[in-house]
């Protein structure tokens, strides 16, 4: 049993575990161990690393249950570590890689965000996160791959949990790769759908990531200006959390103004639970503070956003994943 002091020291060393995990992801160690145990010397030769240095990092990760040292300087993959393989559909590998690059450096300036409420990312890199990604296409592609992997279970869960049957036309606002919209349209063949995003997002969706049914339209633009009009359902998945309250309300108001009188605005987000229990979404909320200026919210905070946008929260629908659908109608 660790003493309180030892527990705090271990928490303080958390960044070391994070960076060790990042190195393992970059070197594809999980893929290299997929066929069975191997010596660290073989792994080092394959990856161009110093064997003694790689061993010390592998030992750190073995202590966390990601690898297992089976004999002197030989390692095998654990069930936990297997989730790091690149061929796992929902692997967090790319998310770990991207979080340990620019966001990791921005977190060194966490005190700036705590004192000012502004993203430290902007201070460190000279521009907002999404503007920075637009200037760095390789990093933007890695970000998109990470989001696609993380959305594997969420998209199906949202499409299954919410009844889109009463609607005729749905707009996926900020739909990116379009996998959510394609899941919705495949489950509800009577629907027509519009994927709305910035030009780069629409281009990626057109390239085939979403596998869209024939009755799909594509529209490019900024949801801060307007969204396609005349639909009876507007869904925003993992969009509102990227923005502060003022900008979030602006997006929601544009959806309200565009939809039919009896339409619905659907916000699919992970809701911060009450209480003091550990929750990944609380960590993600800290990341939003530092990196994008966005906010993860409680149910009450989402309800307040809807009210400010001229909407009313009607209900919250749980899914089989850590994401919920918040349904809102016009006031």
Rounded-to-10 torsion of CA 194, 198, 199, 203? -60
Query: What is the pLDDT, as a whole number, of residue 144?
Result: 82
Active site residues: 241
Extended beta strands in the chain, E state:
38-39, 67-71, 74-77, 169-173, 192-197, 216-220, 233-237, 264-269, 311-318, 324-330
- Mean predicted confidence (pLDDT) in 195-214: 80
* The Cα angle at residue 228 between residues 223 and 229, in degrees rounded to 5: 125
pTM, entire model: 0.88
Residue 295 pLDDT > 80: yes
pLDDT band at 210 (very low <50, low <70, confident <90, very high): low
How many Cα atoms occupy the beta-carbon half-sphere of 119 within 13 Å? 24
Residue 151 pLDDT > 80: no
- 194 φ, ψ (degrees, to nearest 5): -125, 125
Tally of CB atoms within 10 A around 38: 18
The separation between the first and the last C-alpha atoms of the chain, rounded to the nearest angstrom, is 55
Q: Is 227 helix (H, G, I), strand (E, B) or coil?
A: coil
Contact 223, 173 (CB under 8 A): yes
- Mean predicted confidence (pLDDT) in 65-82: 96
- Mean predicted confidence (pLDDT) in 89-118: 95
């Amino acid at each position: 049993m660790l003493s309180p002091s030892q527990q705090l020291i271990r928490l303080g060393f958390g960044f070391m575990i994070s960076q060790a995990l990042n190195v393992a992801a970059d070197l594809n160690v999980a893929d290299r161990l997929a066929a069975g145990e191997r010596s660290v010397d073989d792994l080092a030769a394959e990856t161009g690393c110093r064997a003694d240095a790689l061993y010390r990092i592998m030992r750190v990760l073995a202590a966390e249950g990601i690898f297992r040292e089976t004999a002197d300087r030989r390692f095998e993959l654990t069930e936990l570590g297997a989730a790091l393989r690149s061929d796992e559909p929902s692997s967090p590998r790319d998310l770990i890689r991207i979080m340990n690059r620019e966001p990791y450096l921005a977190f060194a300036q966490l005190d700036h965000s705590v004192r000012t409420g502004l993203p430290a990312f902007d201070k460190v890199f000279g521009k907002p996160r999404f503007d920075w990604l637009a200037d760095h296409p390789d990093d933007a592609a890695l970000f998109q791959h990470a989001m696609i992997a993380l959305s594997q279970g969420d998209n199906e869960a949202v499409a299954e949990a919410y009844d889109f049957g009463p609607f005729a036309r749905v707009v996926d606002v900020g739909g990116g790769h379009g996998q959510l919209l394609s899941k919705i349209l495949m489950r509800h063949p009577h629907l027509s759908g519009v994927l709305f995003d910035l030009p780069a997002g629409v281009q990626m969706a057109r390239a085939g990531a979403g596998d869209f049914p024939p009755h799909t339209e594509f529209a490019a633009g900024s949801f801060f200006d307007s969204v396609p009009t005349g639909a009876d359902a507007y869904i925003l998945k993992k969009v509102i959390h990227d923005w502060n309250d003022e900008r979030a309300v602006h997006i929601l108001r544009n959806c309200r103004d565009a939809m039919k009188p009896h339409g619905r605005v659907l916000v699919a987000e992970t809701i911060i639970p009450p209480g003091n229990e550990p929750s990944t979404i609380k960590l993600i909320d800290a990341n939003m503070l530092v990196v994008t200026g966005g906010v993860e919210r409680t149910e009450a905070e989402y309800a307040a956003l809807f009210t400010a946008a001229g909407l009313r929260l009607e209900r919250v629908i749980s899914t089989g994943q850590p994401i919920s659908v918040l349904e809102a109608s016009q006031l």
